[in-house]
C-alpha cells in the first residue's frame, strides 16, 4: 500500500474512533434506556447504534418504514491506485438514490484523473486542497483553470475533461452525477480508446507516424502520477483557441450568502453558474441548535453530503409515514422529490452540508411561508391553533431558523 494511503487510513481511523466515542457519549442515555436484558437481549453492534440513535430509538412522531435514507462513503469500497483513490455511492449500494450518484476522490500532488468523458453531467465540490481542471466544448473552445477548497465545477454530458492535484498536497473533492446508476469505473478513457484503435488509423487521423504509438499504456491509467503542471497562464497559452463562453468552474464561497441568525445558505444554479444548466446545489451552514427549516423541493430529488458536524433529519412521506435518521461527516442523505423534511444541528459545532439537485434551477417551498401567506383563519382552523400564531409568522423565507 502506498505511504500516503497508510497515512490517510490511519488518520481516517483515528477520526472515526473519535466520532464513535463522541457519539457514544452523546447518546449514552438513549442507548442505556433501550438496551436492557428485558427488551433487547440478542446480538447487537454498539458502534452502529451509537451513530444511529434515532433509528435505534425512533422519535414518537415517526411511523412506518421508508427504507434506507443514508449511506456513508466511509462504508464504500475504496478503489486505490499508486497515485490516488476513489469511492462511490450509487443506486447499487444506496437503492433510494435513483437520480444521482456520488464519488469521493483523492488526488495527491501531481496525481491525475485521466482525460475522459461520460454520459451523465458531472457536478463537483472541492472539499480540500487545490487542483487544475481542463476541458473543451463541442466548438473546440478550451477550458483550463485552478480550483481550491470551496469551489465548484461542472462538466456537461459528454464534455472531455481531466483533474490534477496541485501543490502543496493535492486535492479531495466530491462528484455528483445526474444518474444514480453511474459508476466512476465506467468512463470513456483516452488511454482505453487509443489502445483499442489500430495504430495505422491513429496515424492517419492525427497525421503522425504509426511508430509514435509504440509505447502507449497497456492498461487503463484512470488515476496516475504525472509531472506537476506549469503556470496556469502557460497552460492557457498552449492553445490559441478561445475560452469556453461560460466557465466550467465557480467560486461558491465568494458568493454572498443568504444569512439568518442561525446560519447561511449559498445557492449555485443556472442563474449564477451558467454552465451548470441541468444541476443545482446549495451549501448550508447551521449553527448549533439551529434548523434547516421544514420544507420540500417541488422539482427534483435532493442528494445530500455532510461535510462537518452532526445532524438529524425527519423525512415525511405522506400517509402517516415519517422516519428520522442521523448524519455525520462523509454521510450521504437522499430525499425523493416533494417529500417534506428538515435538518437539525444536533452537535456543538457548525453543521455544514450540501444539497444537490438534478435540475438547473434551485427551488424549495417552506412550511412557514405556506402558513404565513395563506389566510390566517384558514390555517388556524386546520391546525386548531391560535390565529395570532399564524399572523406573527414571517412572511419571507428563512431557510435556517434561529436557535
Domains of the chain: 3-57 (no CATH), 78-250 (2.60.120.10)
pLDDT at site 40 = 66
Burial of residue 115 (CB within 10 Å: 0-12, 13-18, 19+) is middle
pLDDT at site 38 = 53
- Cα separation, 300 vs 337, whole angstroms: 5
| pLDDT mean across residues, the chain | 92
pLDDT at site 4 = 43
pLDDT band at 403 (very low <50, low <70, confident <90, very high): low
Report whether 320 contacts 64 (CB < 8 A). yes
Burial of residue 46 (CB within 10 Å: 0-12, 13-18, 19+) is exposed
**How confident is the model over 362-388, as a mean pLDDT?**
98
Of 75, 73, 24, 74, nearest in space to 53 by CA? 24
Q: Is residue 1 over pLDDT 50?
A: no
- Model's pTM, two decimal places? 0.90
Q: 272 or 22, which is more confident?
A: 272
Q: 158 or 11, which is more confident?
A: 158
Percentage of the residues of the chain whose pLDDT score is greater than 90: 86
Report whether 208 contacts 127 (CB < 8 A). no
The DSSP code for 228 is P
pLDDT at site 402 = 82
Of 377, 122, 168, 73, nearest in space to 275 by CA? 122
pLDDT at site 66 = 97
Q: 3 or 306, which is more confident?
A: 306
pLDDT at site 280 = 98
Q: 172 or 186, which is more confident?
A: 172
Positions marked catalytic? 355
pLDDT at site 19 = 46
> What torsion do the CA atoms of 20, 23, 29, 35 make, to the nearest 10 degrees?
-40
- Tell me the per-residue pLDDT of 19-68, one tens digit each, with 9 for 90 and over: 444 444 444 444 344 444 456 678 888 888 889 999 989 999 999 999 99
Rounded CA Rg of the chain: 24
**How confident is the model over 107-132, as a mean pLDDT?**
98
Of 267, 303, 271, nearest in space to 285 by CA? 267
**Phi and psi dihedrals of 117, rounded to 5?**
-145, 170
- Cα separation, 257 vs 264, whole angstroms: 6
- Tell me the per-residue pLDDT of 283-336, one tens digit each, with 9 for 90 and over: 999 999 999 999 999 999 999 999 999 999 999 999 999 999 999 999 999 999
- Tell me the per-residue pLDDT of 201-249, one tens digit each, with 9 for 90 and over: 999 999 999 999 999 999 999 999 999 999 999 999 999 999 999 999 9
The CB density around residue 279, as the number of other CB atoms within 10 Å, is: 29
Q: Is residue 10 over pLDDT 80?
A: no
Residue list for the binding site for Mn(2+): 116, 118, 122, 161, 295, 297, 302, 341
- Cα separation, 395 vs 299, whole angstroms: 23
pLDDT at site 3 = 38
**How confident is the model over 157-173, as a mean pLDDT?**
98
Can the peptide bond before residue 168 be classed as cis, meaning omega within 30 degrees of 0? Answer: yes
Burial of residue 256 (CB within 10 Å: 0-12, 13-18, 19+) is exposed
Residue list for the binding site: 116, 118, 122, 161, 295, 297, 302, 341
Amino acid at each position: 500500500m502506498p505511504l500516503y494511503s497508510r497515512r490517510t487510513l490511519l488518520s481516517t481511523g483515528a477520526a472515526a474512533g473519535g466520532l464513535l466515542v463522541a457519539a457514544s457519549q452523546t447518546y449514552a442515555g438513549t442507548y442505556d434506556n433501550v438496551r436492557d436484558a428485558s427488551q433487547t437481549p440478542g446480538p447487537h453492534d454498539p458502534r452502529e447504534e451509537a451513530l444511529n440513535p434515532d433509528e435505534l430509538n425512533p422519535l414518537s412522531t415517526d411511523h412506518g418504514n421508508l427504507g434506507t435514507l443514508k449511506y456513508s462513503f466511509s462504508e464504500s469500497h475504496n478503489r486505490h491506485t499508486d497515485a490516488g483513490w476513489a469511492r462511490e455511492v450509487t443506486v447499487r449500494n444506496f437503492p433510494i438514490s435513483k437520480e444521482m450518484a456520488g464519488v469521493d476522490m483523492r488526488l495527491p500532488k501531481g496525481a491525475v484523473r485521466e482525460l475522459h468523458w461520460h454520459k451523465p453531467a458531472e457536478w463537483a465540490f472541492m472539499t480540500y486542497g487545490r487542483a487544475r481542471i481542463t476541458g473543451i466544448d463541442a466548438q473546440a473552445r478550451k477550458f483550463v483553470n485552478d480550483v481550491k477548497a470551496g469551489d465548484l465545477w461542472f462538466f456537461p454530458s459528454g464534455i472531455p475533461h481531466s483533474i490534477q492535484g496541485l501543490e502543496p498536497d493535492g486535492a479531495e473533492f466530491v462528484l455528483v452525477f445526474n444518474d444514480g446508476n453511474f459508476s466512476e469505473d465506467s468512463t470513456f478513457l483516452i488511454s482505453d480508446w487509443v489502445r483499442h484503435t489500430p495504430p495505422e488509423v491513429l496515424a492517419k487521423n492525427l497525421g503522425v507516424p504509426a511508430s509514435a504509438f509504440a509505447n502507449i499504456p497497456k492498461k487503463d491509467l484512470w488515476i496516475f502520477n504525472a509531472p506537476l503542471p506549469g503556470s496556469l497562464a502557460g497552460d492557457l497559452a498552449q492553445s490559441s483557441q478561445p475560452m469556453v463562453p461560460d466557465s466550467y468552474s465557480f467560486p461558491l464561497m465568494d458568493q454572498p450568502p443568504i444569512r439568518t441568525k442561525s446560519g447561511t445558505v449559498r445557492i449555485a444554479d443556472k442563474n449564477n453558474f451558467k454552465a451548470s444548466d441541468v444541476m443545482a446545489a446549495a451549501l448550508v451552514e447551521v449553527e448549533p441548535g439551529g434548523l434547516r427549516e421544514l420544507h420540500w423541493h417541488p422539482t427534483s430529488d435532493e442528494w445530500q453530503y455532510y461535510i462537518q458536524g452532526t445532524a438529524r433529519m425527519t423525512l415525511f412521506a405522506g400517509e402517516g409515514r415519517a422516519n428520522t435518521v442521523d448524519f455525520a461527516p462523509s454521510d450521504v442523505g437522499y430525499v425523493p422529490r416533494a417529500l417534506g423534511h428538515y435538518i437539525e444541528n444536533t452537535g456543538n459545532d457548525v453543521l455544514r452540508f450540501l444539497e444537490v439537485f438534478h435540475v438547473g434551477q434551485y427551488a424549495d417551498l417552506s412550511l412557514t411561508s405556506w402558513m404565513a401567506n395563506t389566510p390566517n383563519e384558514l390555517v388556524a382552523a386546520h391546525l386548531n391553533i391560535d390565529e395570532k400564531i399564524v399572523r406573527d409568522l414571517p412572511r419571507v423565507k428563512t431557510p435556517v431558523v434561529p436557535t
